[in-house]
């Protein structure tokens, strides 16, 4: 699958606004600082779209990481400390979200 261009990504993110507006979910995202598949500009648009829709959003950017930083079978990209932190944050997010109902 080819990566989307920035314009394609922005168009897609903007179209999600309607879907986000109808959502009742809280959102958590983990992103690499250096990821050609998910550039930080796209992450910023995602955050803006979720916030405009009034949705709770928590985004974490992991410094000195690239795409696949969470994948332990990708020795070329895996970042153990970032992956462990992302996992811990995910568990905390899910516990807190479930407490809220």
Could you tell me if residue 9 is inside a domain?
no
Closest C-alpha to 99, from 50, 26, 29, 28 = 26
Query: How many Å apart are CA 36 and CA 84, to the nearest integer?
Result: 22
Confidence of residue 1 (pLDDT cuts 50, 70, 90): very low
Give the residue-averaged pLDDT of 66-74: 95
Per-residue pLDDT of 18-56, as tens digits, reads: 577 788 899 999 999 999 988 998 899 889 889 988 999
Could you tell me if residue 8 is inside a domain?
no
pTM (predicted TM-score)? 0.78
Residues 6 or more apart whose Cβ sits within 8 Å of residue 97: 26
Could you tell me if residue 61 is inside a domain?
yes
Containing domain of residue 56, as a range? 26-100
Q: How many CA atoms lie within 13 A of 90 on its CB side?
A: 10
pLDDT of residue 92: 96
Number of neighbouring beta carbons within 10 Å of residue 37 = 14
């Amino acid at each position: 699958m080819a990566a989307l261009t920035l314009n394609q990504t922005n168009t897609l993110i903007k179209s999600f606004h309607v879907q986000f507006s109808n959502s009742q979910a809280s959102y958590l995202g983990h992103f690499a600082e250096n990821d050609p598949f998910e550039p930080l500009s796209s992450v910023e648009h995602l955050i803006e779209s979720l916030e405009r829709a009034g949705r709770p959003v928590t985004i974490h950017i992991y410094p000195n990481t690239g795409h696949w930083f969470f994948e332990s079978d990708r020795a070329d990209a895996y970042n153990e400390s970032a992956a462990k932190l992302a996992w811990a944050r995910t568990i905390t997010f899910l516990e807190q979200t479930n407490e809220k109902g």
